[in-house]
Amino acid sequence: MKKIGIKWKVEDMTSQKGKLAIITGSNTGIGYQMALALADKGAMVVLACRNLEKGEKARAEIIDSSPNALITVEELDLANLESIEAFGQRLTKSHDHVDILINNAGVMIPPQSTTADGFELQIGTNHFGHFALTSHLMPLLSAAKHPRIVTLSSIAHWSGRIDLNDINGKAKKYDKWAMYSQSKLANLLFALELDRRLKAAGSHIESFGSHPGYSNTDLQRHSLAWRCLNPLFGMKPIKGAAPTLYAATIPDAINHRYWGPIGILEARGWTGKAKITARAADEEMARKLWEHTEALTGIKFQL
């Protein structure tokens, strides 16, 4: 059965005035487009960036484009649990609620390396980092009227497998693609498990997964081949940002929990109900991954 896309464009987004949105990795690529779009619609946006200089540059560009934009920049290194906790503490002191949290930042197929806490960089940043961040921000999200959390996965999750016995890949030859796919599967497992746990707890917070298809950004900067292919085949970042913004702002998004482009191989096309693979829908694995993540990070998730 052919999937039917929603011919929704980012500019169709309604007013977001009065909302506070936090977007990780928002100084470039689709994260930047999300920040620009939300700010243009009146939301107060926090650019959560590892590099403050690049964050301030992005802030200046957004204000140039949308002079009335309400934009702040906060330092956040998702590869460092201490930095994540400090970010959460600062936000708790400066704000009384958060309406939208977009877990967008990520690393893709870098040279083998580890986070400040000794985790493999991709699982450590993409999954552990966002797990910790979301936990620290739960009190602020709970204080909002209609809060939403959107965690970005990828079509790469289709080939992902979670290895709970060696999630950091220390006991085998390093395979950067396998580790990336694992981290993106972990993102979607987390988004869906968080939704189930929130519902079980009677929370009004909504959790979604999303993916940008094949978008032309610098996420693929570690691959020369992908950098060459991006301009030819990648969607514009604004189109790649659309599914996440749809999940973050549109009331009807609650009819599905995973949004993305739904053209050929979900690499491009209009926003629609993205495919949730059998491994992503595995509730037992999601529960085990959640518990494993708490054990490794030392974070008891706040619900």
- pLDDT tens for 265-300 read 898 899 999 999 999 999 999 999 999 999 999 999
Query: Max Cα separation, the chain?
Result: 52
Beta bridge partners of 150: 102, 208
pLDDT tens per residue across span 121-177: 999 999 999 999 999 999 999 999 999 999 999 999 999 999 999 999 999 999 999
Report CA-CA distances (Å) from 262 to 116, 159, 275: 37, 18, 8
pLDDT for 235: 76
Whether the CA torsion 71, 76, 158, 281 is positive or negative: it is: negative
Residue 92 has pLDDT above 60, yes or no: yes
Mean pLDDT of the chain: 93
Phi, psi (5° rounding) for residue 147?
A: -75, 145
What is the set of domains in the chain, with CATH numbers? 15-297 (3.40.50.720)
The percent of residues above 70 in pLDDT, for the chain, comes to: 92
Torsion on CA atoms 281, 282, 284, 285, rounded to nearest 10: -110
Residue found under tokens 């797990």: 131
CA-atom Rg of the chain in angstroms:
18
Residues with Cβ within 8 Å of 16's Cβ and at least 6 positions away in sequence, in order, are 38, 41, 42, 43, 249
**pLDDT of the residue at 295:** 98
pLDDT-derived band at 217, boundaries 50, 70, 90: low
pLDDT at 115: 98
Q: What is the mean pLDDT of residues 39-59?
A: 97
pLDDT tens-place string over residues 222-257:
455 555 555 545 678 899 999 999 999 999 999 999
Amino acid 233: pLDDT: 54
Write down the pLDDT at residue 191: 98
Three-state SS for the chain is CCCCCECCCHHHCCCCCCCEEEEECCCCHHHHHHHHHHHHCCCEEEEEECCHHHHHHHHHHHHHHCCCCEEEEEECCCCCHHHHHHHHHHHHHHCCCCCEEEECCCCCCCCCCECCCCCEHHHHHHHHHHHHHHHHHHHHHHCCCCCEEEEECCHHHHHCCCCCCCCCCCCCCCCHHHHHHHHHHHHHHHHHHHHHHHHHCCCCCEEEEECCCCECCHHHCCCHHHHHHHHHHCECHHHHHHHHHHHHHCHHHHHCCEEEECCHHHCCCCEEECCCCCCCCCHHHHHHHHHHHHHHHCCCCCC
The answer on pLDDT for 97 being more than 80 is yes
The pLDDT of residue 219: 52
Please name the amino acid found at residue 23.
I
Give residue 1's pLDDT.
Answer: 47
Selected residue with higher pLDDT from 268 and 17: 17
- For the annotated catalytic residues, the residue numbers are 180
**In the predicted model, is pLDDT for residue 90 greater than 70?**
yes
Judge contact between 133 and 142, C-beta under 8 A.
no
pLDDT recorded at residue 232: 45
The predicted model scores a pTM of 0.93
pLDDT for position 6: 82
| 21 or 303, greater pLDDT | 21
